[in-house]
Amino acid sequence: MENCKSFLPNADENSEILILGSMPGVKSLDEAEYYAHPQNRFWKLMGIFCHNDNLYKTDYENKLKILLENKIALWDVIQSCKRNGSLDSNIKEEKPNNIAELLKKFPKINVICLNGNKSYTSFKKYFPEILEKYECYKLPSTSPANAKYKLEDLYKEWCKAFKTEIFN
């Protein structure tokens, strides 16, 4: 079992939407970048919401900057765990991040997007009071392991949280 540790949050005083993953996968941990696996649809999906078709192609620092310009914060529910490989189902001995502290620090956040089942179940386990207090959305994972969802399907589901009209 590998020891895994999440990254620092990407958030600022203008953030209104918080996207929470579970724990970065092996490729992301190796690259020290959220959603670094080339088949993960996260950056393509965010490109649609940020009106930037090339977001997924840009360098990592610019990706984070563009999210913040669009009032989107990014972090993980799990601060540390033990896990073999990248699958959420292999996560053991998880410890949560201090989500409550982040929300106090950035009070404009009013929507929380939970990227995938593990993100949701861990969030529900550790932060039931936040789940009740905030507008929270359990959303299909952008992971390549969630192959039944095409990018268009992810977009339709994620539109609910982003309160965006679906493009045809």
Active site residues: 40
What order of strands is seen across the sheet that includes strand 135-139? 72-76, 17-21, 111-115, 135-139
Q: 33, 21, 129, 115: which is closest to 77 by C-alpha?
A: 21
3-class state of residue 15 by DSSP: coil
Taking Cα atoms as reference points, which of 40, 142, 122, 30 lies closest to residue 85? 30
Residue whose token pair is 């292999």: 90
- Residues in a beta bridge with 93: none
DSSP H helices, 25-116, are 26-31, 42-49, 60-69, 99-105
